[in-house]
Each structure stands twice: as structure tokens, then as C-alpha cells.
Amino acid sequence: MMPITLYYAPMSPPARAVILLIKELELNVELKVVDVRAGETRTEEFLRMNPEHTIPTVDDNGFYLGESRAILTYLVDRYHPGHELYPNIPKEKALINRVLHHDLCEFYTNTLGVLAPISRGLTTAVSEEMKTSIANALSNLELFLVRNDWFAGEKVTVADLSILPTIASMVHSGLDLSQFPRLGTWYDNCKVLKGYQDEQTIARQFGDLFRSMVTEGLHL
Ligand SMILES: N[C@@H](CCC(=O)N[C@@H](CS)C(=O)NCC(=O)O)C(=O)O
């Protein structure tokens, strides 16, 4: 059987979440870098795999899947069914999915999503509106950690892998997590992940790039 191929960009937070999973499960995956700025997600060949033209995208022997959170849950279900990162227990899955949906629709959107005008070069200022949105998103996210140490219980799950690259990118862009102590403790606990050090290296590069594009870093 051919290995799975992951189309990704090294600094993309959703792609990094999938890479964290690949390392955690030690999956045999071929990595192919896609240069988004050079239009490589819009080629005929890429659009045949993923009409939404997003990375990460996986090609699992002709089964194509985009959307990082769908990829995370698919890879566990397909290659390590029942693994504690995404257990085969409806209520546990439901609690994980709850966090993944919150991440996609609320957290990611209101943090890195609102900073998009900066990465597109449209502005060099982190506006007050952006700061308020990010501070609120972090406060809301922290509520998931009131009753448990990880986002969906007492064990690390794909929900944590989905959130880590977004937080790490902001931390290396200047965010001081001490205002969010539960998130700070969780972030420290993420050191147990096999892909943590590589993820930090990339997050640092993300932060350096971000800082080079703004007049001051991400200070809320
Ligand atoms: N919700 C998607 C977001 C994916 C996404 O927006 N990826 C960006 C890079 S971070 C991308 O592929 N942009 C290129 C394009 O849209 O053509 C996910 O989690 O996979």
C-alpha cells in the first residue's frame, strides 16, 4: 500500500496540528510542501484533490480530505481506532468534537483569523479591535480548562493538538499567557507531545515573521 501523502505548508497552524498527530501516532506519511503564495493550491491537479484549495489536504491512496480537524479524527479512526487521542466512545468523542467545533468557529476565527490582514500585508498594526477579539477568545477558551487539565478531559486528545499551533504561534508573536493561567499550565503540559520541540521551532519562525510585519508584537 502506498503511504499517505500530506500536502502542507510548514508554518500553517492547521497543517501543524496534523503533523503533531502524525508524530504522536508515528504514522508513515509522505510530506509534500505546497507553496500557497505561488498559487500551488489553485493548480488543476490540486483542485482535483481539494476544490476548497486549502492545506492541509491528505491523499490516502486516492481518498482526498481537507479540513485539519476532519483529517485529525479520520487518521485516528482509520489507523488507530479507539486510540485515546480520539477514543471510540460516543460521549468522549462528543466532548472532543465540541472543542474542535469551538476551535474552528470561535477560537481560531477570533484569534489568527482576525490577524489575517497583517499576514496579507494590508496593515502593520495590531488594532484595539483585534486585541479585544483575541483576549475574549482566549478567556472563552480557558473555560474548557476549568474542570480538567486537557481540553476534553484528563488525557491529551486531538482537541489539544488542534489548538496548540494557534496558541504557540501567538506566544512566539508576543502574547503573554500569564493573564490566562490555566492556558499557561496547559501550554507547559504540551511538552509531553512527541512533536512539541519541532512545533516550537516552527512557532518561533511564525513569530519572527509576524514581528517583522508589525510595528509592535502581539501585546494585549
Ligand atoms: N479550516 C481549514 C483552514 C485551512 C486554511 O485556511 N489553510 C490555508 C493556509 S493556513 C490555505 O490553505 N490557504 C490557501 C488557499 O486557500 O488557497 C483547516 O483547518 O484545514
Task: Write the pLDDT tens digit of every residue in 78-97.
Answer: 999 999 999 999 999 999 99
CA 146 and chain centroid, separation: 22
How far apart are the C-alpha atoms of 156 and 211, rounded to whole Å?
Answer: 31
pLDDT at residue 16 above 80?
yes
Longest Cα–Cα distance in the chain:
52
Record the cell numbers describing residue 113, joined without a space. 483569523
Using the mean position of ligand 1's atoms as its centre, give its distance from the Cα of residue 53 in Å. 7
The ranges assigned to domains in the chain are: 4-79, 90-213
CA atoms within 13 Å, Cβ hemisphere of 138:
27
pLDDT at residue 2 above 80?
no
Domain 90-213 sits in CATH at 1.20.1050.10
pLDDT at residue 23 above 80?
yes
Mean pLDDT on 126-154: 97
Q: Looking at the annotation, which residues are catalytic?
A: 12
Residue nearest to atom 16 of ligand 1 (CA): 54
- pLDDT value at position 3? 86
Mean pLDDT on 145-155: 97
Quick one: how many helices (H) and strands (E) in the chain? 10, 4
Position in ligand 1 atom list of the atom nearest CA 56: 20
More confident call, 119 vs 186? 186
Give residue-wise pLDDT tens across range 51-81. Answer: 999 999 999 999 999 999 999 999 999 999 9
Mean pLDDT on 37-42: 97
Find the range with the poorest average confidence among 1-5, 157-161, 187-191: 1-5
- pLDDT value at position 50? 98
Which among 56, 58, 60, 54 is positioned nearest to 42, based on CA atoms? 54
Mean pLDDT on 3-9: 96
41 in ligand 1 pocket by Cβ < 6 Å? yes
Mapped onto helix, strand or coil, the DSSP state of residue 66 is strand
Mutate to test the pocket of ligand 1, among 54, 112, 158, 169 (most ligand atoms within 8 A of CB): 54
Mean pLDDT on 91-113: 98
pLDDT at residue 1 above 70?
no
Pick the CATH number of 4-79 from 3.40.30.10, 3.30.70.920, 3.40.50.720, 3.40.50.300: 3.40.30.10
Position in ligand 1 atom list of the atom nearest CA 14: 19
Position in ligand 1 atom list of the atom nearest CA 53: 17
List, in sequence order, every residue forming a beta bridge with 63; answer none if it has no partner: 60
pLDDT at residue 177 above 70?
yes
pLDDT at residue 193 above 90?
yes
Give residue-wise pLDDT tens across range 40-51. Answer: 999 999 999 999
36 in ligand 1 pocket by Cβ < 6 Å? yes
53 in ligand 1 pocket by Cβ < 6 Å? yes
Residue nearest to atom 15 of ligand 1 (CA): 54
Using the mean position of ligand 1's atoms as its centre, give its distance from the Cα of residue 67 in Å. 8
- pLDDT value at position 63? 97
Using the mean position of ligand 1's atoms as its centre, give its distance from the Cα of residue 56 in Å. 7
Record the cell numbers describing residue 97, joined without a space. 468534537
Q: How many residues does the chain have?
A: 220
- pLDDT value at position 144? 98
The contacts of residue 85 (CB under 8 Å, 6+ apart) are 21, 24, 25, 76, 156, 157, 158, 161
Describe the crossing of helices 13-25 and 68-79 by its angle, rounded to 10 degrees. Answer: 10
Residue 65 φ then ψ, to 5°: -145, 130
How far apart are the C-alpha atoms of 83 and 140, rounded to whole Å?
Answer: 28
12 in ligand 1 pocket by Cβ < 6 Å? yes
CA 203 and chain centroid, separation: 11
Q: What is the mean pLDDT of the chain?
A: 97
Position in ligand 1 atom list of the atom nearest CA 41: 17
Using the mean position of ligand 1's atoms as its centre, give its distance from the Cα of residue 17 in Å. 12
